[in-house]
Amino acid sequence: MKKVNFFDTTLRDGEQSAGVNLNRKEKLEIAKQLERLGMDIIEAGFPASSKGDFYSVQEIAKTVRNCSVTGLARSVKHDIDAAWEALKDGSEPRLHVFIATSPIHRQYKLKMTEDEVIENAVQAVQYAAKFFPVIQWSAEDACRTELPYLAKIVEKVIEAGANVINIPDTVGYINPIEYGKIFEYLKNNVKNIDKVILSAHCHDDLGMAVANSLSAIEHGAGQIEGTINGIGERAGNAALEEVAVALHIRKDHYKVETNIRLEEIKRTSDLVSKLTGMIVPPNKAIVGNNAFAHESGIHQDGVLKEKTTYEIISPQLVGVQTNSLVLGKHSGRHAFRVKLKELGFSLEDEAINRLFEEFKLLSEKKKELTEDDLVALVLEEQLKG
């Protein structure tokens, strides 16, 4: 089965989330957990951007030995030199160098012609190839770039020595069908494309980052980039835990394997949330508090009879101890009875029925009932009796 590499940029693109500022110790702690999770590549930062980032990338590269550590660089010597200094003691130093390719970026940001961008990209890769064993080259805003031009520049940087070609959807603009077509186009129009790994890097501005990443895999991507909990610039990046679990649950469809240890997902998510201060929404797929909570009577009854009726992922698979049956106004008698039993009450059917009516009345007033509420209901009933 084909292997897909996971490239985590929580510490670089993820740290670009508004309001997030991780110190060196926190970054190292996250990097070690990403290593435990089984990431293939960790983008530890942008060494030329600040002294703090430089030392942090250096420390991570020296400490993390089971995955490749990379750092971002603009297409300029100074950035590439800083990245080399920070990464050279890593187990597999890898450069991530980028330049924007779209007409909007060429005209307004870079103020460069098509040929000047190509020349700059080629020079940067040739320069980096003198010392880096692995070079990833990214076409920033690739998805708003003219396809023939994208193919041309990709061909040139491969010739110059790039090993991984990343096609970022920098502004979260593309949809899964279109994204897949870009990969197909490159496969059919770029010389030596089969000699490199194609990578997907998706942002979530239109809520399609994970779907786009999965589409890229269907169309030949051998590397997926993203962050834990999907944090990142603006609406964030593709949530890697979602991609990893989708690939596992739908192995029948995607037919690829990864190094990700799924059981480490929840722990990693909790750590990133704690250290970044970015709260995970309760309904977030895989790691949200409600991801394995069942509230309605029909669902609770189904899950109590057979979990797979409403659970496609077992909570234990991703390191969550158990699912939960939340008692609220939609809950049914089956879950109510099970909960009472768990709390140590063995009651006659008649008593359970009476209590259930009272529970329903109470649940109209309170969104979620706690175990203490249930105990209070039973004790009141027993006092009356």
| Cβ closest to ligand KIV, residue 168 vs residue 230 | 168
205 annotated ligand-binding residue = no
Residue 138, contacted partner among Zn ion, ligand KIV, none, CB below 5-8 A by kind? ligand KIV
Q: What's the CA gap between 92 and 296, in Å, rounded?
A: 50
Structure tokens that stand for 373 in this block:
């509420």
Residue 101, contacted partner among Zn ion, ligand KIV, none, CB below 5-8 A by kind? none
* Short-list 56, 21, 38, 58, CA closest to 267: 38
Residues 119-148 within binding reach of ligand KIV (CB under 6 A): 138, 140
> Angle at CA 70, nearest 5°, toward 66 and 76?
160
**Burial of 24 (C-beta count, 10 Å sphere; 0-12/13-18/19+):** middle
Q: Which long-range contacts (CB under 8 A, 24 or more apart) does 75-79 make?
A: 75/99, 75/120, 75/121, 75/123, 75/124, 76/124, 77/124, 77/127, 78/48, 79/47, 79/48
105 annotated ligand-binding residue = no
Work out whether 5 is an interface residue with ligand KIV (CB under 6 A). Answer: no
219 annotated ligand-binding residue = no
Q: What's the CA gap between 7 and 13, in Å, rounded?
A: 11
Work out whether 8 is an interface residue with ligand KIV (CB under 6 A). Answer: no
In the complex, least distance from residue 222 CB atom to ligand KIV, rounded to whole angstroms: 17
Q: What's the CA gap between 206 and 291, in Å, rounded?
A: 22
In the complex, least distance from residue 212 CB atom to ligand KIV, rounded to whole angstroms: 12
Q: What's the CA gap between 179 and 236, in Å, rounded?
A: 18
Binding range to ligand KIV, per CB under 6 A, among 165-173, 273-281, 353-361, 367-375:
165-173
Residues 187-226 within binding reach of ligand KIV (CB under 6 A): 201, 203
Identify each DSSP E strand in 261-350 by its residue range.
293-294, 324-325
Work out whether 59 is an interface residue with ligand KIV (CB under 6 A). Answer: no
- Per CB under 5 A, the list member of 8, 10, 13, 260 interacting with Zn ion is 13
Q: What's the CA gap between 319 and 209, in Å, rounded?
A: 24
In the complex, least distance from residue 173 CB atom to ligand KIV, rounded to whole angstroms: 11
40 annotated ligand-binding residue = no
| Cβ closest to ligand KIV, residue 171 vs residue 244 | 171
Count of positions (residues) in the chain: 385
* Short-list 110, 179, 115, 175, CA closest to 147: 179
| Cβ closest to ligand KIV, residue 232 vs residue 319 | 232
Residue 238, contacted partner among ligand KIV, Zn ion, none, CB below 5-8 A by kind? none
Structure tokens that stand for 363 in this block:
């649940």
Let me know: does 224 contact 243? Beta carbons within 8 Å.
yes
Binding range to Zn ion, per CB under 5 A, among 6-14, 60-68, 248-256, 360-368:
6-14
Q: What's the CA gap between 292 and 298, in Å, rounded?
A: 15
Binding range to ligand KIV, per CB under 6 A, among 33-41, 116-124, 162-170, 367-375:
162-170
- Per CB under 6 A, the list member of 8, 13, 59, 204 interacting with ligand KIV is 13
In the complex, least distance from residue 43 CB atom to ligand KIV, rounded to whole angstroms: 9
Residues with Cβ within 8 Å of 60's Cβ and at least 6 positions away in sequence, in order, are 11, 27, 28, 31, 42, 44, 45, 69
- Per CB under 6 A, the list member of 102, 170, 199, 268 interacting with ligand KIV is 170
In the complex, least distance from residue 338 CB atom to ligand KIV, rounded to whole angstroms: 47
| Cβ closest to ligand KIV, residue 201 vs residue 266 | 201
Site residues, ligand KIV (CB under 6 A): 13, 72, 98, 138, 140, 166, 168, 170, 201, 203
> Which residues are part of a known binding site for Mn(2+)?
13, 201, 203, 237
Site residues, Zn ion (CB under 5 A): 13
